[in-house]
A and B are shown apart, each in its own frame.
Chain A
Amino acid sequence: MATKLKEVDVVIVGLGWTGGILAKELSATGLKVVALERGGQRSTEADFQVPQVRDELRYVVRHDLMMNTQKDTLTVRNNVSQDALPMRRLGSFLPGDVVGGSGVHWSGHTWRWTDMEFKVRSLYEERYGKKHIPEDMTIQDWGITYDELEPYYDKFEYTAAVSGKAGNIRGKIQADGNPFEAARARDYPLPPLTPLLSQEMFKTAAQNNGYHPFPRPSANASRAYTNPDGSRFGACQYCGHCQRFGCEANAKGSAHITVIPIAMRNPNFELRTHAWVTKVLKDSSGKRVTGVTYTNVLNGEEFEQPAGMVMLCAYALNNVHLMLLSGIGAPYDPVSQKGVIGKNYCYQTGASATLFFEGRHFNPFMSAGGSNTTIDDFNANWDSDRGKHGYVGGFIVAGGFNTALPIGYRPVPGGTPPWGTAWKAATAKWYDTAMNIGMSGNVMANRYNYLDIDPTYRNAFGLPLMRMTFDYKDNEHRIGRHAAQVINDIAKSMNPTRLNPAVARTDPWTVVPYQSTHNTGGTIMGTNPKNSALNKYLQSWDCHNLFAVGANVFPHNSVYNPTGPVGALAYWTADAIKDRYLKNPGPLVSA
């Protein structure tokens, strides 16, 4: 029997970037806030010190900072005709599970998603006609605009120490930035990172091909920095151990060195680690949530934590899982296309080429998470004609390095034997003399890509696993084919000694190997309760005192990394709660 605790004003489920932002913002208003985090506490001082943190086997291969699939995982299948089977170990994506969440081990790439996403259906119908959008592509407008979100992007970029170069300040195009980005009020808080040789070579080649390269904006502090909250950052050391590692230099924009410590200093805030939330509770009307149940995973003790408001701030997939387990909102059904919880699960697609240059020295072990030069000519550039290629969306192309460590990164030209002296000769020769050009492409929402409750498998708490039904559709294959052609054209123009060309992926999505921790959708925001789970303030249409914050709210997936809008939306929601909801609790948008 669960022990019932004293009611608090707000309970936050999961303490990463979104939970940390809400914890800081809401506890500052005087509300009593409790955060429940399933993982343990990790800090730079105790856990991310040299030399121990520089351990590729522990962090990259064995996933030390990630979700433990022994306790909880998903089942996966490519389509409804298959039996879903459990993802028995991590592979394709890597949700974090310690204080700080995936924001501890991310690389820091921070983008502003624009009206190209938020008005996706309207814009494509207007430009290309309704027939351009496949019948099973369930893209829809988000109900929010870039102008509404702009100040919150700014706030997140200044909080997280983003280094970059503006491309468009109040409509004025800036040299060396991304000329296709939406207008911003001001530049990034920090100048771009120092470019690597691979970035410079890509930049020249991209320019020679008529494109517009720019340094990727990244929350890797290019200089020492103090953010507007007073959180202090060290300068990035280009240590080559970024993605999947905590940062020993406090140079990576992470919640555990910014918003979380500020919340922790506020007596209104309490953090409980090792607290695994199993259900969100509703009252008898079903129109309000009353708190959550959770298990202390150190001793198995169960608790009920009553709360006036519940904020779901776990990893995107886990927010959806909790909504499904709690019976909040109608589960989505791909046959009838009724219901909303689990709808529009999306992912991302990619392809890359490896270029080998005899005599060059790329030093792949020297890089920041964001050591990357990018072109946006086939994404944010609305003049790029999607009509002739027959797809919705686009792709970005980039050259650079991120965490090119030797267990995982050992480029050799195609046809190299897999072992023996010839393999060693090639591995020794090319480790320092190769670079990559890669792309990231959209996955647009599809009627048959969704999340629901698995009928067979259970987690360590006896609860059913969530089932993921996902595959790339023809739209993604078309994006991939176009992108591979663009990559290979750029690569060939650089005259490499050898080239492993990019190949568009047309095989089914597979749970191995690692691809991207950019899982989106499932409890999407939208314009009305029939097409979405949440309104534009990320408030549940069903229960007005429940908010779900994270990439789970995206109605489809962009080519960009998700953390920019995830952070901005957390601040946006915090303001909506502070400025409006607390004064007049109820739906912030009338249904």
Chain B
Amino acid sequence: MKNDGFDRRAFLKGAVAGGAAAATVSLPRPAEAQGAPAPGSQGSPAPANTYAYLNPDEAAFVEALVDHMVPADQYTPKGTDLGLNTYIDRALAGGWGKGDRLYMQGPWKQGVPSQGYQLPLTPAELYRTGIAAANAYCVKTYGKSFDKITASQREEFLLGLRAGKVAFENGPPARVFFATVYQNVMEGMFADPIYGGNRNKAGWKMIGFPGVIAVHYQNVEKYRDKKYAVDPVSISDMS
């Protein structure tokens, strides 16, 4: 029998054994948890890209970046087909991008690396200034903006950014910008699809992460040193 990542009998047994917990755990309706995606949801083709925060130049940078870091191959479709650009755009347009939970009072000093993020920029502002500086660097070095240079030039530029060998003139610290972008690409790849990335749970399928269904009271023994091969389940699959 195909294991769909949600062993209902095991779940119910766990919940019954759970006593007080049973009352508080809401069971998913199987038809929704396991059925085909509704029209227009994750099963459908990627929608045309419209952006809430990124301007056209920034969008071109982000699309080129996510397709370079996550190329189409036997593991996943390419970054834009996974919605990584959409994930980043929504993150920047939302509370996180606007500096939610970020202490933004001065005075501003660079400090030492062990003191962490010290820029007077929200994440959205960091992207805006960072992409402009990155493109300026690429124009100066390669004659074209990041989205128009060759794949090997992109690779060289990104590895330089990561290693701290690329410095921006009149922009935010290149390494801070890169660390933020790289973290966001990984978030887009592996966060729940409700945030716009990880489309069709392709990031989760790539590594075998089963998603939100996680009732493993019996599986711990049953699958010890055995592959737990299931179709992952996301928040919207269960909602």
Interface on A for B, CB 8 Å cutoff?
44-45, 49-52, 54-57, 61-63, 68-70, 73, 76-78, 82-83, 85-91, 194, 196-197, 200, 223-226, 231-241, 248-251, 257, 360-363, 365-366, 405-407, 410, 418-421, 424-425, 427-428, 431-432, 456-458, 507-512
Q: How far is the CB of B155 from chain A (nearest CB, A)?
A: 8
Contact with A along B90-111 (1 / 0, CB 8 A): 0000001001111111010101
Residue of A nearest to B223 (CB): A363
Chain A residues near B99 (CB, 8 Å)? Answer: 70
Contact of B18 among A250, A363, A425 (CB under 8 A): A250
* 8 A-B pairs (CB sep. < 8 Å): A77-B115, A85-B118, A197-B225, A234-B21, A365-B210, A366-B216, A432-B207, A458-B105
State whether A418 touches B239 (Cβ < 8 A): no
Alpha-carbon distance between A419 and B18 when the two chains are bound, in angstroms? 42
Q: Find the residue from A54, A233, A425 having the highest chain B CB count within 10 A.
A: A54
Residue of A nearest to B10 (CB): A237
Q: How far is the CB of B189 from chain A (nearest CB, A)?
A: 8
State whether A418 touches B14 (Cβ < 8 A): no
Question: B195 in the interface, Cβ–Cβ < 8 Å?
Answer: yes
With A51-B28, A366-B216, A428-B207 as contacts: A85 and B113 at CB distance below 8 Å = no
State whether A57 touches B195 (Cβ < 8 A): yes
Contact with A along B197-239 (1 / 0, CB 8 A): 0000001101111111111110111011111100001110111
Interface on B for A, CB 8 Å cutoff?
14-15, 17-22, 24-26, 28, 68-71, 73, 75-76, 96, 99-105, 107, 109, 111-118, 158, 162, 182, 185-187, 190-192, 194-195, 203-204, 206-217, 219-221, 223-228, 233-235, 237-239
State whether A45 touches B24 (Cβ < 8 A): yes
Chain B residues near A89 (CB, 8 Å)? Answer: 101-103, 116-117
Alpha-carbon distance between A54 and B191 when the two chains are bound, in angstroms? 10
State whether B224 touches A237 (Cβ < 8 A): no
Contact of B24 among A82, A248, A509 (CB under 8 A): A248
State whether B216 touches A238 (Cβ < 8 A): yes
Residue of B nearest to A239 (CB): B214
Chain A residues near B113 (CB, 8 Å)? Answer: 510
State whether A197 touches B224 (Cβ < 8 A): yes
Alpha-carbon distance between A248 and B19 when the two chains are bound, in angstroms? 13
Chain A residues near B22 (CB, 8 Å)? Answer: 234
Alpha-carbon distance between A330 and B233 when the two chains are bound, in angstroms? 56
Residue of B nearest to A240 (CB): B214
Residue of A nearest to B114 (CB): A510
Q: How far is the CB of B66 from chain A (nearest CB, A)?
A: 10
State whether A224 touches B223 (Cβ < 8 A): no
Contact of A241 among B214, B221, B233 (CB under 8 A): B214
Q: How far is the CB of B29 from chain A (nearest CB, A)?
A: 12
Alpha-carbon distance between A457 and B185 when the two chains are bound, in angstroms? 33
Residue of B nearest to A232 (CB): B20
Alpha-carbon distance between A240 and B206 when the two chains are bound, in angstroms? 18
Q: How far is the CB of B161 from chain A (nearest CB, A)?
A: 11
Contact of A418 among B19, B162, B191, B204 (CB under 8 A): B162
Q: How far is the CB of A462 from chain B (nearest CB, A)?
A: 11
Contact of A70 among B19, B75, B102, B233 (CB under 8 A): B102
State whether A366 touches B223 (Cβ < 8 A): yes
Chain A residues near B101 (CB, 8 Å)? Answer: 62-63, 68-70, 89-90
State whether B187 touches A57 (Cβ < 8 A): yes
Alpha-carbon distance between A316 and B238 when the two chains are bound, in angstroms? 39
Residue of B nearest to A470 (CB): B114
Alpha-carbon distance between A49 and B24 when the two chains are bound, in angstroms? 8
Residue of A nearest to B194 (CB): A55
Alpha-carbon distance between A261 and B46 when the two chains are bound, in angstroms? 47
